Amino acid sequence: MTIKDHSVSKETFKLLFDSDLQLYRTTPLPTDLGKYYESEAYISHTDSHKSLSDKLYQWVKKYNLKHKIGLVKQYKEKNIYLLDIGAGTGDFVRTAKEYAAWEAVGIEPNEKARRKAQEKGLTMQENFDELLPHSFDVITMWHVLEHVPDVAKEIQIISKLLKKDGVVVIAVPNYKSWDARHYGEYWAAYDVPRHLWHFSKESIEKLFAAEGFKLIGTHPMLFDAFYVSLLSEQYKTGKASLVKGFLNGLRSNYYGWRKGEYSSQIYILVRR
């Protein structure tokens, strides 16, 4: 399948299917990935409220932050030391500290996003170098794993940093969802080349099982279906349609409710 980078470069990339892991890989891997993030169009590294999609994204993000805290509390509640990998501008780290009173730090390699987080008074590291092994109760990656060039190595690092009884929370798009199938090459959550991997539930289970983890819970990200459908409709037709985006978001969530395949899914993993 050939997919266009609609949001930044307008270049095209191919998706190659790995039948063993049940995932797609974006190819070729750009030698300079950073330039594909250096755009106001890539709003997870900004706090932009300019366009309709920006405003919708920020509204959904604000709503989701406390929901994410509640989800983590289902599996871990007290005395939490949390690491958020790919923390962006730091909003989840800040919510964890201020709303849940947890100790929390973030990893964010993008200098611009990291600087915005630090301006909010948050502890933000560029990489894992200063983090101690087996020190975190919870490690989260909210729509981040799909951006990581070496997924197996990343999971090894997570395993090293997590306490024995710790919990890993992974949120990623799901290429088996209704909206992915409906929009095909225009599905916004392919987001090549920033998304290097395109996961299914099976692929997450297999990748983490290799490091001794088991999947104990799966949760939908219901708002993603609406946001992704809105963007996908714009990519497909050249114009935004709130009505079509909303209706297709509903269709996708209904399909997810019936089949267990939502637009984006949250996976909860612990050691075996």
| Domain extent listing, the chain | 2-221+264-271
- The predicted pLDDT at position 106 comes to 97
Residue 64's pLDDT band, with cuts at 50, 70 and 90, is confident
- Please compute the mean of the pLDDT values over residues 197-225 and round it to a whole number: 97
- The predicted pLDDT at position 124 comes to 93
- Please compute the mean of the pLDDT values over residues 214-227 and round it to a whole number: 96
Lowest mean pLDDT among 115-129, 156-170, 244-258: 115-129
> Which residue reads 């892991």 in tokens?
21
Q: How far apart are CA 230 and CA 185, in angstroms?
A: 15
* Overall fold of domain 2-221+264-271: Rossmann fold (3.40.50)
- The predicted pLDDT at position 60 comes to 73
Which has more pLDDT, 266 or 48?
266
- The predicted pLDDT at position 167 comes to 98
Instruction: Report the mean per-residue pLDDT for the chain.
Output: 92
- The predicted pLDDT at position 63 comes to 79
- The predicted pLDDT at position 85 comes to 98
- Please compute the mean of the pLDDT values over residues 86-99 and round it to a whole number: 94
- The predicted pLDDT at position 269 comes to 98
Residue 39 has pLDDT above 80, yes or no: no
pTM of the shown model = 0.92
Lowest mean pLDDT among 21-25, 35-39, 141-145, 221-225: 35-39
Cβ 124 vs Cβ 114: under 8 Å: yes
- The predicted pLDDT at position 58 comes to 67
- The predicted pLDDT at position 61 comes to 72
Residue 240's pLDDT band, with cuts at 50, 70 and 90, is confident
Residue 56 has pLDDT above 70, yes or no: no
Give Rg (Cα) of the chain.
18
Q: How far apart are CA 61 and CA 68, in angstroms?
A: 10
- The predicted pLDDT at position 78 comes to 84
Share of the chain above pLDDT 70, in %: 93
Residue 219: C-alpha distances to residues 47, 74, 239, 254 (Å) = 26, 12, 31, 14
